[in-house]
Structure 1
C-alpha cells in the first residue's frame, strides 16, 4: 500500500473524522509511442489511459487508487485509500467508456485493497486503520464486518488479500510500519471469519500477497526491503513449510507494493514511488516493465496494483499521484486468473 507517511495520514484521518465533498470526472486518454526500457528492465510495455477517476482530496492532500478487481460482467472496482469520510471509498469504473461512480463510503474506513470473494461474489475490503475486513455487495449495499479484533494479541493493519479456492483469506499485515521495524505478518483467516492464525512474522512491511497458480505457496513483497519472497505451504495451506527470498527488485527510489500472478506464473510487481510495474517470471528473470507514456508520467508517483481479465490478457493498472488517480490499460504477457484479479 504505501509508506510510513501514509500510515500516519490514515491514522490521523480516522482520528479527526474530516468530511468534504469532491468531484470526479471521467477522462479518456491516448498514449504515446513506446520508449525503450532501461537496461535490465526487460522490454517496455506501453500502458494507455482509461479513466481519470479521482483528484487530490483537499482534506487529506492525497489520492491513492488501489485494489483493482473485475467482476463477472467486466466492471472494474477500485478503492481510494485516502478518501476522507463521506467521499467515495469504493468506485466502479466502466473500462469501455471510462465513466465511473462511487458505490460505497462510510465515515471510518481506510480501505487499501478489494477482492471478490470466490464463494459469495461480494467485495472484501481491508480496513487499514481499524484492522477489520469489511464486505459489501457489488452495488455497495449490505455492509458487514467479516473479521475484526486482535490476532495473537495485536490488531492488524491489513493491506492486501489473497483467497484460496475454498474461500479462506490470506492477509498481508503491515503492523509495525515505523522505520527500522520488522513486525509485519502474514495472517490466515478461515472462510467463516472466526479463526485467524499467523503464518509468518518478522517481515519488513509486507504489502503484496498472492498465490502461485497451483496454490502451493504464497508470493509476498516486503516494502521496506524491495524483495519478493516465496512461502511454501503445507497440503491444507494452514502452515508455512519453507520460506526464502526469491527476487530483489532494483527499484531505486521506488519500492515494492502489491503483487499479482498470471496463468503462466509470471509476477507483476507494482512500484510505489514510480508509475510502473515490473514483470518477472517465476524464476526471477525480469521480463518487462509496464510504464505510462512519458508525457503522462509527470504528476504520477505510484502504480499500486493490477487486474488482468480472467482468461484474457487485457490488464488494468491503478496509478496515482499529485495529478490524481487513474486507471491505465496494457496487454499482459500472460492470461489472467483469480490471482491476477484484485488483492
Structure 2
C-alpha cells in the first residue's frame, strides 16, 4: 500500500486520477468531559468498525459526511471511491455491517446532508463543481446545481441548510493553486437564486449554522481559523469576523459540527484528532483515538445522534477508512448531523 499525503480537500478528478486532501482526528477516553469552560480535556473515541481500504485505483480512501436519516440510520461517503465501489454507504452500527447506496459515476462526494425542505440527500461533488441530490434510498439522482457563480465554477466542499431548505456551501476554489479565492455561497432551495456571502477566503472547508440559526461558522483550512457570519432573516450577512484561531501545529482546520449547546467540533486535517470549542472560542476538549493510530491521518467530520450524545466520527488514512464513536458534550441537532 503506497502511503500518500492527504492534502487539504483539494480533489482533482481527471480520467482515472484523483488527488485530494483530508483532515485530522484525535482520540481519548469517553466520559472525560470538561468540567469547566476553558479546560482542555481529552475525550477518547473508540473504534466501531472499518468501512474501507485504500483503493488501488485512487491510491487512498477518505471517509466523510456522516449523517443520520429520519429512521436513525447512518450514511457515510467515501470521497476517493472509484466507479463501481461504494461512494455512499448506509451503516448499521449495531451489527457492524454496511451496504452500498451509490456506486455509479466519477463524482468525488465530500459531504452529505438531508434537506429539511424535500427530505432528499444532498451531496457536494468537489471534483465536478456540482451539488446533486438522491432519494433517501439512493435512487433518483438529480443535479441540483451546476455551473459558474460570478464567472467561476465552485469546488463545493461542505454544506449546511437553513430552516427553509436554502443551502450554504463552502467553496474551496483556489485551494489547488494555493490562492485565497474561496467563497461561502448561498443557493436558494430552488437551485437558481445564488449569492456569494464571503469571498477571497483561504480554502474554506467546514460550515455550520450555530445552534439558533443566527449565523454561520466556517473554517479556512490553510489559515487555521474559524470565522462567523451573522445573518438576517433573509440570509444576508450583517457582520463578519474571525472568531477562533486554532493552534493546530502541523494540523489544519477541516469540517465543523455544532451541538445543542452551541459547541463546535472542529475536525483537523493532518492529525487524527478533533478540537472542541464553545461559542466563545474557549477550547473545551480534544477528541483522540483510543489505541493504536498508525496509518490514520484524518478525522474529517462527526455526526451526533439527533436528540442523543452518541457521536460517530469518520477517520481515514493509508490504514483504511474507519468509524469511531465518543460521547459528545451535548445533544445532537441538525447542525451536528451531516454537512
TM-score (norm 1): 0.90
Higher relative contact order (CA 8 A, sep 6+): 2
How far off its partner does 1:150 sit? 0.7
Higher mean displacement: 98-107 or 199-208: 98-107
Question: Hey, what does 2:43 align to over in structure 1?
Answer: 45
1:60 equivalenced with 2:58 (yes/no): yes
Question: Hey, what does 2:141 align to over in structure 1?
Answer: 143
How far apart, in 1, do the equivalents of 2:176 and 2:78 lie? Answer: 23
Contact 2:31 / 2:327 at 8 angstroms: preserved in 1? no
Question: Hey, what does 1:329 align to over in structure 2?
Answer: 325
- For residues 33 and 154 of structure 1, do their structure 2 counterparts lie closer, same or farther at Cα, with a shift above 3 Å needed? closer
Contact 1:49 / 1:328 at 8 angstroms: preserved in 2? yes
**Deviation readout 1:262-285 (Å, 9 max, x if unpaired):** 110000000111111100000011
- For residues 36 and 233 of structure 1, do their structure 2 counterparts lie closer, same or farther at Cα, with a shift above 3 Å needed? closer
1:242 equivalenced with 2:245 (yes/no): no
How far off its partner does 1:49 sit? 1.1
Structure 2: stretches of 5+ with no match in the other structure: 19-26
Structure 1: stretches of 5+ with no match in the other structure: 20-30
**Deviation readout 1:61-112 (Å, 9 max, x if unpaired):** 1000000001122211011001112211001111112111111022221100
How far off its partner does 1:196 sit? 1.3
Question: Hey, what does 2:252 align to over in structure 1?
Answer: 255
Contact 2:224 / 2:252 at 8 angstroms: preserved in 1? yes
Contact 2:8 / 2:269 at 8 angstroms: preserved in 1? no
How far apart, in 2, do the equivalents of 1:195 and 1:6 lie? Answer: 26
Question: What is the alpha-carbon root mean square deviation over aligned residues?
Answer: 2.1
- For residues 41 and 256 of structure 1, do their structure 2 counterparts lie closer, same or farther at Cα, with a shift above 3 Å needed? farther
Which portions of structure 1, spanning 4 or more consecutive aligned residues, are displaced by more than 3 angstroms?
2-6, 31-37
Instruction: Summarize the alignment of residues 58-137 of structure 1 with structure 2, pairs less than 5 Å apart.
Output: 58-137=56-135
- For residues 42 and 169 of structure 1, do their structure 2 counterparts lie closer, same or farther at Cα, with a shift above 3 Å needed? same
Instruction: Summarize the alignment of residues 161-310 of structure 1 with structure 2, pairs less than 5 Å apart.
Output: 161-237=159-235, 239-293=236-290, 295-310=291-306
How far off its partner does 1:130 sit? 1.1
How far apart, in 2, do the equivalents of 1:207 and 1:187 lie? Answer: 12
**Deviation readout 1:183-238 (Å, 9 max, x if unpaired):** 0000000011111111110110000000011111100000000000101112211x
How far off its partner does 1:296 sit? 2.7
TM-score (norm 2): 0.91
**Deviation readout 1:24-74 (Å, 9 max, x if unpaired):** xxxxxxx9967999xx87111111111100000001110000000011222
SS in 1 for 2:133: strand
- For residues 221 and 195 of structure 1, do their structure 2 counterparts lie closer, same or farther at Cα, with a shift above 3 Å needed? same
Instruction: Summarize the alignment of residues 151-162 of structure 1 with structure 2, pairs less than 5 Å apart.
Output: 151-162=149-160
Question: Hey, what does 1:15 align to over in structure 2?
Answer: 14
- For residues 35 and 195 of structure 1, do their structure 2 counterparts lie closer, same or farther at Cα, with a shift above 3 Å needed? closer
SS in 2 for 1:68: strand
Contact 1:125 / 1:135 at 8 angstroms: preserved in 2? yes
